[in-house]
Amino acid sequence: MRSIWRTLDRGLARDVGLVCLADCLVGVSYGAIAVSSGFPLWLPMLMSLLVFAGASQFMFIGIVAAGGNPFAAVLAGLLANARHLPFGFAIGDVLGKRWAARLAGSHLMIDESVAFALAQEEAHRRRAAYWVCGIGLFACWNVGVVAGAFAGTAISDTDAFGLDAAFPAVLLALVLPSLRDKAARLPVLVGVLVALAATPFLPAGLPVLLALAGVLVGVLAKEPEMEEAR
């Protein structure tokens, strides 16, 4: 672990710190929304420790608070987290070979930690970015959730503070540098269009899954190039 911290340069540490701060604010929003919606104080805290997936946690709280079935809320959360399957293939090399490390690393596998890892070219930097970002976000998210849960009765309208906008803003900032690669633009464009078209008609979380169609388009677009290279 000490070697990971030594690998982290000042610029990367700054970027990770800013993302952790933004995620902490989103955690405050989640904790406040959960408690102000009538959930017990311990529920958002327990979910944050065991689930640690902001989109799924927001989805569960929103569906149940609206009168939905808890089992349907769990299923929706699992569908939203289906994107972790391709994530696992993309960054499997940074998790190590020991089962304990792989289990811990899988629990820290969220959009931001994966994005930071994929943005690094060298293997040791990928590993450092993933673990530092994952551990930092886990700590900051849970601190934010605890603070928000206790403040839930005081902050009745969390949307008025704009905290819900921090999460997508962070993801957008992480994705933009990858668009410099020409091959990445077509899959991203297709995914965005599919998600936007599906959002008015489908429950929250499902448009994100349909956006994975962009990955398929990217693979199909690369096949002719691979055949020519042969």
pLDDT tens sequence across 103-138:
888 888 888 888 888 888 788 888 888 889 899 999
Please give the average per-residue pLDDT across 73-101, as a whole number: 78
Residues 111 and 211 in one domain: no
Comparing 52 with 122, the larger pLDDT belongs to 52
Q: What pLDDT score was predicted for residue 138?
A: 95
- Is residue 140's pLDDT more than 90? yes
Q: What pLDDT score was predicted for residue 4?
A: 54
Residues 165 and 193 in one domain: no
155 band by pLDDT with thresholds 50, 70 and 90: low
Out of 156, 178, 200, pick the residue that ends a domain. Answer: 178
Q: What pLDDT score was predicted for residue 84?
A: 77
Q: Where would I find the H helices in 81-181?
A: 84-90, 99-107, 111-118, 123-150, 166-175
Check if the beta carbon of residue 198 is closer than 8 Å to that of residue 206: yes
Comparing 18 with 215, the larger pLDDT belongs to 18
Residues 161 and 189 in one domain: no
Residues 33 and 119 in one domain: yes
Residues 162 and 196 in one domain: no
Out of 152, 178, 204, pick the residue that ends a domain. Answer: 178
Picking from 153, 160, 154, 159, the residue whose alpha carbon sits closest to that of residue 35 is 153
pTM of the entire predicted model: 0.68
Residues 167 and 67 in one domain: yes
Residues 170 and 197 in one domain: no
Residue 72 belongs to what domain range? 2-178
Residues 172 and 206 in one domain: no
Please give the average per-residue pLDDT across 29-57, as a whole number: 86
Residues 87 and 30 in one domain: yes
Out of 161, 178, 195, pick the residue that ends a domain. Answer: 178
pLDDT digits (tens, 9 = 90+) for 178-214: 667 677 777 778 878 887 888 787 765 567 667 767 7
Q: Phi and psi dihedrals of 8, rounded to 5?
A: -70, 120
Residues 121 and 185 in one domain: no
Q: Please, what is the Cα angle at 21 between 136 and 188, to 5 degrees?
A: 85
146 band by pLDDT with thresholds 50, 70 and 90: very high
Residues 203 and 102 in one domain: no
Hey, what's the torsion of the CAs at 171, 177, 178, 183, to 10 degrees?
Answer: 140
Report how many domains make up the chain.
Answer: 2
- Is residue 2's pLDDT more than 60? no
- Is residue 67's pLDDT more than 80? no
Residues 103 and 53 in one domain: yes
- DSSP letter at 148 equals H
- In whole angstroms, how far apart are CA 65 and each of 32, 62, 219? 13, 5, 40
